[in-house]
Amino acid sequence: MGTRPVELAYVRAMRDYYRAFFGDGQGREELIQLLSRITGVRDTALLERLAPSWMDPDGGVNEASVRAVQRWYFERGDLTGEVDLSRVIDPSFVDYALQQLGRYRSQP
pLDDT in tens, 31-82: 999 999 999 999 999 999 999 999 999 999 999 999 999 999 999 999 999 9
Residue 58's alpha-carbon distances to 7, 14, 63, in angstroms, are: 11, 7, 14
pLDDT value at residue 4: 77
pTM: 0.79
pLDDT, tens digit, 9 for 90 and up, residues 77-97: 999 999 999 999 999 999 999
The residue ranges of every structural domain in the chain are: 5-101
Residue 104 DSSP one-character state = -
46 contact partners, CB below 8 Å, separation of at least 6: none
Q: Residue 1 pLDDT more than 60?
A: no
